């Protein structure tokens, strides 16, 4: 009898992590090479992607993403000198940045087909780029999870930490400037830029680099503050398009200043104010009436410092007058009353036209022809040459808003860390318990309401001069053009309540995206609604989280940080809760 054997198929051994990582490196190199090829044959597509050897801006985004992917892969392979890229593991950040590179490349290819109308409008270089970018994304997805606790970072010399801070801020300035300077006629470039930046920043967070950078900046606080100011001041000096996009930056700063004021009311004190934009309008109308506008009912012209103080004082008074009877309410009732105040303000400004009411605001026509600011003989409406560089009118207002923003940040930080700030947090967490510990809840909330209103009024005085006109339609609850109450509240929630940088980042995103993607104007509210829903699902504490909020929302997982970081966060949170409330009530 003859033995017979049946050949069994031999199972292929799974690819080793090293093989997958070298595949990712090869795919990244191929993707970099594809950026130097032509992706379409015609210059009809914005950006001119027809030139060999000279990547267009859209191709540069793919190139940058591929370089980042390759660096993360080399770090995971243990290449000497790159281990700092992945302190908490390489798989997650590597897959995220590879996926972002693929998404950016695929979006560009699809845009070419949609814009030009046919698949044949793609050159072979575009197809090669899509395939090359897909290889690292697929290979990174198959890598085993290597998430780990970050090892203690080596203490660097002070000069090295200073250089790191300077380099990070310089890179940040370049990235922000690139986004703002994108041509409005090329929305594809800005969308691709958003895709790559979003994935890259997420990868940096997941890799643990941002946590280590936070430790470095905390040890060098003065250097960090100086670097941030220098970066902000340098922005108008490096604008390639003159004053074209500086106006966007000015409006972002105005929006962010008002959002910081609202953050005192909502983020620190926990008061839901849906009519906050009215305080911005009070400051703007006050400045317009006292700054020598031709249609002003008062016929006076204050210097800027006096007009700014008058606008702040008027907003503060309105904050006290509105807050005194309404702050005894809580929750939804307070929100409804403040929403009503915002609408009453807008309607009242439209009726003070000499027919329906006294002739003060010129009714729906508003107050036009507001003169440009002039401060110590420096006319903000005229170009000036500084260090051999010509700065336009909006650059002047931008630098002024930098100073005002710095003032508002100081006020916010000092107030938040003071006894009254601890009382605000105690009221936000549990008003009944805070009152039982001796805090006068009504007085504390009224101070928050008045201070937030004053900061909004200060921003309004500058807004009136930047726009040179003030009309009631600028101060609605929700509309297509920020700032309005809905967008201000969204900026605070999106950025992170109770933080300084959170509302600034939220304001920049909520103003910049509509400004650059004007063709989506009819769908803005839908888009932001979807964004807020996703944010509440995946990152309810906001993009830049307050430590207490991070602990509360991630109590049962490790996303809030490693144990040492959680203990530090818990200690900081305790300082603003039980013990902090006792100090506030003392």
pLDDT of 564 strictly over 70: no
Instruction: Read off the pLDDT of each residue in 60-76 and give the average, rounded to a whole number.
Output: 93
Could you give the CA distance from residue 320 to residue 204 in angstroms, rounded to a whole number?
44
pLDDT at 120: 84
439 touches 374 (CB < 8 A): no
> Taking Cα atoms as reference points, which of 257, 279, 260 lies closest to residue 450?
279
Token look-up 């793919």 returns 62
Q: Report the SS3 class of residue 216.
A: helix
- Identify the weakest region by mean pLDDT among 22-31, 180-189, 310-319, 475-484: 475-484
- pLDDT tens digits for 224-243? 889 888 888 888 888 766 66
pLDDT at 577: 41
pLDDT at 246: 84
pLDDT at 552: 62
Q: CA separation (Å) from 271 to 246, 421, 442, 460?
A: 34, 14, 12, 22
Residue 169, classified by CB atoms within 10 Å of its CB into exposed (0-12), middle (13-18) or buried (19+), is buried
89 touches 147 (CB < 8 A): yes
pLDDT at 138: 94
Q: Report the SS3 class of residue 555.
A: coil
pLDDT of 504 strictly over 50: yes
Token look-up 């929305």 returns 187
pLDDT of 456 strictly over 60: yes
291 touches 302 (CB < 8 A): yes
Q: How many CB atoms lie within 10 A of CB 84?
A: 13
pLDDT at 8: 47
pLDDT at 556: 59
pLDDT of 3 strictly over 60: no
pLDDT at 200: 93
pLDDT of 149 strictly over 90: no
Instruction: Read off the pLDDT of each residue in 420-438 and give the average, rounded to a whole number.
Output: 85
Could you give the CA distance from residue 422 to residue 443 in angstroms, rounded to a whole number?
14
Residue 299, classified by CB atoms within 10 Å of its CB into exposed (0-12), middle (13-18) or buried (19+), is exposed
Percent of the chain with pLDDT over 70: 89
pLDDT at 513: 83
Measured at the alpha carbon of residue 549, what is the angle toward residues 546 and 552, in degrees to the nearest 5? 150
Q: How confident is the model at residue 549 (pLDDT cuts 50, 70, 90)?
A: low
pLDDT at 334: 85
Could you give the CA distance from residue 433 to residue 425 in angstroms, rounded to a whole number?
12
pLDDT of 303 strictly over 60: yes
pLDDT at 72: 92
> Taking Cα atoms as reference points, which of 460, 295, 287, 470 lies closest to residue 366?
470
Highest mean pLDDT among 100-109, 139-148, 511-520, 522-531: 100-109
Q: Which two tokens stand for residue 545?
A: 């989280």
Highest mean pLDDT among 280-294, 326-340, 512-526: 280-294
Could you give the CA distance from residue 162 to residue 182 in angstroms, rounded to a whole number?
31
> Taking Cα atoms as reference points, which of 495, 576, 575, 582 lies closest to residue 532?
495
Residue 17, classified by CB atoms within 10 Å of its CB into exposed (0-12), middle (13-18) or buried (19+), is middle
Could you give the CA distance from residue 258 to residue 395 in angstroms, rounded to a whole number?
20
Q: Which two tokens stand for residue 134?
A: 């897909």
Q: How confident is the model at residue 199 (pLDDT cuts 50, 70, 90)?
A: very high
- Identify the weakest region by mean pLDDT among 5-14, 231-240, 423-432, 575-584: 575-584
pLDDT of 455 strictly over 60: yes
- pLDDT tens digits for 120-140? 888 899 999 999 999 999 999
Averaged pLDDT of the chain: 82
């Amino acid at each position: 009898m003859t033995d017979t054997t049946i050949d069994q198929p031999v199972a292929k051994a799974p690819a080793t992590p090293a093989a997958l990582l070298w595949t990712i490196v090869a795919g990244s190199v191929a993707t970099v090479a594809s950026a130097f090829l032509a992706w379409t044959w015609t210059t009809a597509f914005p950006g001119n992607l027809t030139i060999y050897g000279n990547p267009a801006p859209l191709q540069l985004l793919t190139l940058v993403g591929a370089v980042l992917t390759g660096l993360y892969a080399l770090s995971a392979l243990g290449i000497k000198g790159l281990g700092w890229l992945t302190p908490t593991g390489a798989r997650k950040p590597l897959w995220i940045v590879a996926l972002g590179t693929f998404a950016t490349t695929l979006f560009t290819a699809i845009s070419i087909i949609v814009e030009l109308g046919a698949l044949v409008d793609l050159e072979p270089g575009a197809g090669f780029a899509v395939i090359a970018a897909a290889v690292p994304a697929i290979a990174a997805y198959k890598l085993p999870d290597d998430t780990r606790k970050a090892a203690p970072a080596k203490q660097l010399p002070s000069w090295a930490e200073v250089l790191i801070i300077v380099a990070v801020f310089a890179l940040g300035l370049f990235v922000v400037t690139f986004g703002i300077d994108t041509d409005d006629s090329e929305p594809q470039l800005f969308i691709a830029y958003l895709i790559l930046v979003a994935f890259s920043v997420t990868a940096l967070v997941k890799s643990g680099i941002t946590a280590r950078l936070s430790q470095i900046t905390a040890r060098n606080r003065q250097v960090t503050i100086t670097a941030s100011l220098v970066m902000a001041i340098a922005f108008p000096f490096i604008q390639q398009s003159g004053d074209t996009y500086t106006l966007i930056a000015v409006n972002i700063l105005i929006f962010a200043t008002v959002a910081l004021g609202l953050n005192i009311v909502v983020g620190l004190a926990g008061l839901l104010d849906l009519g906050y934009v009215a305080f911005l309008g009070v400051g703007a109308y006050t400045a317009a009436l006292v700054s020598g506008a031709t249609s002003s009912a008062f016929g006076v012209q204050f210097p800027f410092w006096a007009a700014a103080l008058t606008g702040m004082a008027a907003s503060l008074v309105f904050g006290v007058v509105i807050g005194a009877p309404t702050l005894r309410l809580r929750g939804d009732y307070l929100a409804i009353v403040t929403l009503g105040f915002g609408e009453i303000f807008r309607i009242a400004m439209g009726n003070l036209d000499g027919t329906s009411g006294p002739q003060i605001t010129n009714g729906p026509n508003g107050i036009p022809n507001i003169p440009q600011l002039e401060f110590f003989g420096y006319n903000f409406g005229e170009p000036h040459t500084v260090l051999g560089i010509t700065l336009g009118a909006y650059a002047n207002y931008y630098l002024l808003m930098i100073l005002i923003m710095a003032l508002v940040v100081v006020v916010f930080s000092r107030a938040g860390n003071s006894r009254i700030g601890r009382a605000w947090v105690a009221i936000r967490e549990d008003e009944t318990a805070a009152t039982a510990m001796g805090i006068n809840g009504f007085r504390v909330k009224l101070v928050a309401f008045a201070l937030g209103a004053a900061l909004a009024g200060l921003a309004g005085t500058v807004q009136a001069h930047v726009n040179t006109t003030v009309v009631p339609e600028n101060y609605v609850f929700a509309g297509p053009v920020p700032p309005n109450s809905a967008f201000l509240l969204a900026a605070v929630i999106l950025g992170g309540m109770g933080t300084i940088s959170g509302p600034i980042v939220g304001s920049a995103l909520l103003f910049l995206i509509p400004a650059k993607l004007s063709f989506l104007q009819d769908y803005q509210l839908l888009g932001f609604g979807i964004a807020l829903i996703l944010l509440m699902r995946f990152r309810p504490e906001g993009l830049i989280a307050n430590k207490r909020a991070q602990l509360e929302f991630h109590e049962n997982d490790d996303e809030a940080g490693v144990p040492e970081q959680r203990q530090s966060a818990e200690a900081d949170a305790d300082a603003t809760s039980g013990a902090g409330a006792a100090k506030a009530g003392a």
